[in-house]
């Protein structure tokens, strides 16, 4: 039985946690994630979940405790944002190196300095090479759906890797949207019983976690870990297929919106994709063949599939809500460029940086980009490869 | 029935930290670890370690010296790690998925305890996890090559506070972490040393029998870092106790008790002179520095005795 509600993104994800009922959750407050774990703490206080909460003294300890709890042999989740993710950065690599299926929503927020509590993607982009699977979410429904699917993906026996669910701070975390909740029992059945792998608490078969491995074997360990990421897209699609059966909602590795017959395209993550799709509809009504690609599985990045989906276009603008300082491009741009670089025929690429620190992304920004792409498609010439939009110069 | 803590019975117990580890010859850390695990011989235990000598030497590639479940993550988070393991244990036990009575022990060096891991330790104790955190204290960052830590005593020569022509080793006093942990109001805090092994093992046993967070600070001589004879670890431990450089005491539910009082308190110079890290203090004109160290030790010892007296007189008044 589907239940339609009006809730914030954080509330929706807290409800997904309630339905999944992890054995242990660690929590530490940080804007704009705080509401999520606050709501979940109420479920614990009211006895609605069996979960044991660890109310740690930092995000570094939150993730450290999650690693300990997951190694102990049970289902584990936490959530963070921004500085909290940056503080826990060291432990991200340990969680993935130990192959522990920890689920962690990241409510995207800008990084200091200057301090800023609003949305951009610098936090999660800083963790993109940490070995975590990243699922990005346009709205509260996707954040809720991705959270439920994340447990299945993380805990899949072919994978056993931690998963981040990214959704935009305030824009999604604090806005009230229409959400379809799945029935509690349906979610529990979908996620299933947790299957421990080499649990530390099996004292009769003692295991050592965290050995020292030097030059003789380190590279082989890394190589074997790299192999696991190749299996992730298949599992993500399998889980999505099953999820569709219980929800009716389709998920892929990315969303291709009016892209098949398009000549120009926009690549964009999370909430700004919604605004862009509306603007695309307006241009389509005028006969402009424009489409959009919104990555969902950002790590591991499905290079081949994304390249195939974009290669026929004449011009593509990659919109990044994070910059790569030091003369480089935005992080999403680099992945799109890598997806296309080996095709003979490929679109001209430009990179635009938008929405840093919560700066609004307005329909006119999408219009500006589409106008420019039309010119590039016509002339084959690029004036500026990378620049900021929506900024006072 | 609990296994008696005597040599006859303990010698029959399986060692849960095996030989073949790669700690230095003469290192006191494996001795301390064996004593802890022997004292815990009646329970299954899970051990967590921070990055450090013990960690890098006990589990390498496909080899491990640990016959108990063991976890190491990073330098500063052993307490947080173990708090996660212990929380999962509580969760699974509550759900009826586990029925064993398992004890949780962190064994970490002074760098991972006094300094970089202090926040994680303080947090885990404040959250009242049922665990024993043990610091095997060798008074410097020995694993990275003898750098000063918050546990390094005054005027010790280390590679980052070398005894030079102007500065005579570490200028500051060491942090009194045992007192700081007692100030957390946790049920049990103790100092111990391997030279006084029945005292050490009794404290471990007592700590494990108490519900809630416990902390032990165990003096662990390091011949490489202290520049002493390879086989002098236990001798140095004894000298540290006999000179009151390292008093043996416990704070149980807020009540301080000194568990060993030397019949005749030896001058600290006897402890210092055996060690290369204090060699510069014996150069002509440095007598004052040794006097200063003696004054600090006397003051701390007297204060400790006064604390004990304060509690015992209160107990009598009751």
Q: Parse chain B into domains and list their residue ranges.
A: 14-317
- Over range A144-157, report the average pLDDT: 98
Tell whether omega for the bond before A359 is within 30 degrees of 0, i.e. cis. no
Q: Structure tokens of A263?
A: 């000549």
Q: Is the pLDDT of residue A101 over 70?
A: yes
Question: How many domains is chain A built from?
Answer: 2
Residue with tokens 């963070």: A80
Q: Is the pLDDT of residue B316 over 70?
A: no
Instruction: Kindly list the residues from chain B whose CB atom is less than 8 angstroms away from the CB atom of residue A68.
Output: 48, 71, 73, 80-88
Instruction: Kindly list the residues from chain B whose CB atom is less than 8 angstroms away from the CB atom of residue A102.
Output: none
Do A241 and A299 sit in the same domain of this protein? no
Q: Is the pLDDT of residue A175 over 70?
A: yes
C-alpha B311/C-alpha B2 separation (Å) is: 30
A208–B82: do the CB atoms touch at under 8 Å? Answer: no
CB A266 within 8 A of CB A320: no
Tell whether omega for the bond before A32 is within 30 degrees of 0, i.e. cis. yes
Among B244, B269, B237, smallest CA distance to B259 is for B244
Average per-residue pLDDT for chain A? 98
Domain boundary among A247, A270, A293: A247
pLDDT of residue B165: 95
Do A202 and A290 sit in the same domain of this protein? no
**Which structural domain, as residue segments, surrounds residue A272?**
254-388
C-alpha A386/C-alpha A276 separation (Å) is: 19
| ipTM for this prediction | 0.97
pLDDT of residue A1: 64
Do A262 and A152 sit in the same domain of this protein? no
Q: Which residue of B has its CA nearest to A95?
A: B73
- Over range B196-222, report the average pLDDT: 98
Start-end of H helices in chain B = 7-10, 29-39, 53-58, 78-94, 118-126, 177-182, 197-209, 223-226, 233-242, 269-272, 287-317
Q: Does domain B14-317 have CATH number 3.40.50.970?
A: yes
pLDDT digits over A14-31, tens only? 999 999 999 999 999 999
Instruction: Kindly list the residues from chain A whose CB atom is less than 8 angstroms away from the CB atom of residue B18.
Output: none
Strand order across the A290-295 sheet: A254-257, A290-295, A264-267, A315-320, A348-353, A386-388
Tell whether A393 is covered by a domain: no
CB A40 within 8 A of CB A17: yes
Q: Is the pLDDT of residue B315 over 80?
A: no
Q: How many CA atoms lie within 13 A of A205 on its CB side?
A: 6
Do A214 and A268 sit in the same domain of this protein? no
Mutation choice for A interface testing from B15, B69, B123 by most A CBs within 10 A = B69
Integer angstrom CA distances of residue B58 from A209, B72, B138: 12, 11, 17
Give me the CATH number covering residue A148: 3.40.50.970
Instruction: Kindly list the residues from chain B whose CB atom is less than 8 angstroms away from the CB atom of residue A203.
Output: 44-46, 68-69, 100, 102
Q: Structure tokens of A131?
A: 């070995």
Do A260 and A375 sit in the same domain of this protein? yes
C-alpha B254/C-alpha B233 separation (Å) is: 31
B69–A61: do the CB atoms touch at under 8 Å? Answer: no
Q: Is the pLDDT of residue A95 over 60?
A: yes
Mutation choice for B interface testing from A47, A55, A61 by most B CBs within 10 A = A61
CB B73 within 8 A of CB A91: yes
Do A234 and A262 sit in the same domain of this protein? no
Cβ of residue A200 closer than 8 Å to a chain B Cβ:
yes
CB A71 within 8 A of CB A209: yes
Q: Structure tokens of A129?
A: 């090479």
pLDDT of residue B292: 98
Beta bridge partners of B137: B219
C-alpha A68/C-alpha A74 separation (Å) is: 10
pLDDT digits over A345-392, tens only? 999 999 999 999 999 999 999 999 999 999 999 999 999 999 999 999
Do A278 and A191 sit in the same domain of this protein? no
Do A286 and A243 sit in the same domain of this protein? no
Beta bridge partners of A317: A266, A350
Tell whether A140 is covered by a domain: yes
Do A315 and A201 sit in the same domain of this protein? no
C-alpha B18/C-alpha B61 separation (Å) is: 16
- Over range A232-239, report the average pLDDT: 98
Domain boundary among A194, A228, A247: A247
Largest Cα span, chain B: 69
Instruction: Kindly list the residues from chain A whose CB atom is less than 8 angstroms away from the CB atom of residue B75.
Output: none
Distance from CA of B45 to the nearest CA of A (A): 7
CB B137 within 8 A of CB B217: yes
């Amino acid at each position: 039985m589907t239940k339609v509600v009006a809730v914030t993104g954080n509330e929706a994800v807290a409800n997904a946690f309630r339905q999944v009922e992890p054995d242990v959750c660690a929590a530490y407050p940080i804007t704009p994630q705080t509401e999520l774990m606050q709501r979940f703490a109420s479920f614990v206080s009211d006895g609605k979940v069996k979960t044991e909460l660890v109310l740690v003294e930092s995000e570094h300890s939150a993730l450290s405790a999650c690693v300990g709890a997951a190694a102990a042999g049970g289902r584990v989740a936490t959530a963070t944002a921004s500085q909290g993710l940056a503080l826990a950065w060291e432990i991200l690599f340990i969680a993935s190196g130990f192959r522990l299926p920890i689920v962690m929503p990241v409510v995207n927020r800008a990084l200091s300095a200057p301090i800023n509590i609003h949305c951009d993607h610098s936090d999660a982009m800083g963790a993109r090479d940490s070995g975590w699977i990243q699922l990005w979410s346009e709205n509260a429904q996707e954040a809720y759906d991705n959270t439920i699917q994340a447990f299945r993906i993380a805990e899949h026996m072919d994978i056993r890797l931690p998963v981040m669910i990214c959704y935009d701070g305030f824009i999604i975390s604090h806005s009230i949207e229409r959400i379809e909740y799945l029935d509690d029992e349906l979610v529990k059945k979908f996620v299933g019983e947790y299957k421990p792998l080499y649990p530390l608490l099996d004292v009769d078969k003692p295991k050592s976690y965290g050995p020292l491995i030097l030059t003789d074997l380190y590279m082989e360990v890394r190589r074997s870990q790299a192999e696991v990421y190749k299996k992730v897209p298949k599992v993500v699609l399998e889980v999505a297929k099953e999820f569709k059966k219980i929800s009716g909602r389709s998920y892929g590795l990315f969303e291709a919106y009016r892209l098949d017959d398009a000549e120009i395209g926009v690549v964009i993550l999370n909430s700004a994709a919604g605004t862009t799709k509306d603007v695309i509809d307006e241009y389509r009504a005028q006969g402009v063949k424009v489409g959009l690609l919104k990555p969902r599985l950002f790590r591991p990045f499905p290079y081949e599939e994304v390249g195939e989906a974009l290669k026929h276009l004449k011009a593509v603008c990659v919109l990044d809500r994070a910059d790569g300082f030091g003369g480089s491009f935005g992080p999403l741009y680099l992945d799109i460029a890598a997806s296309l670089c080996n095709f003979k025929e490929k679109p001209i690429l430009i990179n635009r940086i938008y929405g840093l620190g919560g700066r609004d992304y307005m329909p006119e920004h999408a219009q500006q980009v589409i106008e420019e792409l039309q010119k590039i498609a016509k002339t084959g010439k690029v004036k500026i490869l990378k620049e900021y939009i929506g900024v006072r110069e | 029935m609990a296994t008696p803590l005597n040599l006859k019975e303990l010698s029959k117990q399986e060692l849960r930290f095996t030989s073949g580890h790669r700690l230095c010859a003469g290192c006191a850390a494996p001795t301390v670890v064996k004593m802890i695990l022997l004292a815990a011989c009646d329970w299954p235990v899970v051990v967590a370690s921070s990055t450090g000598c013990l960690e890098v030497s006990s589990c390498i590639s496909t080899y491990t010296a640990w016959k108990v479940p063991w976890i190491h993550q990073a330098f500063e988070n052993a307490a947080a790690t173990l708090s996660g393991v212990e929380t999962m244990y509580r969760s699974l036990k509550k759900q009826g998925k586990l029925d064993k009575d398992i004890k949780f022990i962190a064994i970490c060096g002074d760098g991972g305890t006094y300094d970089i891991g202090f926040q994680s330790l303080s947090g885990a104790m404040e959250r009242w996890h049922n665990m024993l955190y043990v610091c095997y204290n060798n008074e410097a960052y020995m694993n990275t090559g003898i750098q000063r830590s918050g546990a390094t005593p005054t005027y010790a020569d280390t590679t980052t506070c070398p005894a030079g022509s102007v500065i005579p080793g570490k200028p500051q006093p060491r942090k009194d972490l045992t007192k700081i942990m007692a100030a957390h109001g946790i049920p049990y805090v103790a100092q111990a040393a391997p030279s006084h092994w029945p005292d050490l093992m009794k404290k471990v046993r007592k700590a494990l029998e108490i519900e809630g967070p416990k902390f032990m600070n165990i003096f662990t001589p390091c011949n490489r870092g202290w520049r002493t004879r390879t086989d002098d670890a236990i001798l140095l431990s004894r000298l540290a106790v006999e000179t009151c450089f390292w008093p043996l005491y416990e704070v149980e539910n807020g009540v301080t008790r000194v568990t060993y009082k030397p019949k005749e308190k030896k001058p600290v110079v006897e402890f210092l002179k055996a060690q290369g890290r204090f060699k510069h203090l014996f150069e002509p004109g440095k007598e004052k520095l040794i006097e200063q160290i003696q004054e600090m030790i006397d003051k701390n010892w007297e204060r400790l005795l006064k604390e004990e007296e304060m509690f015992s007189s209160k107990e009598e008044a009751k």
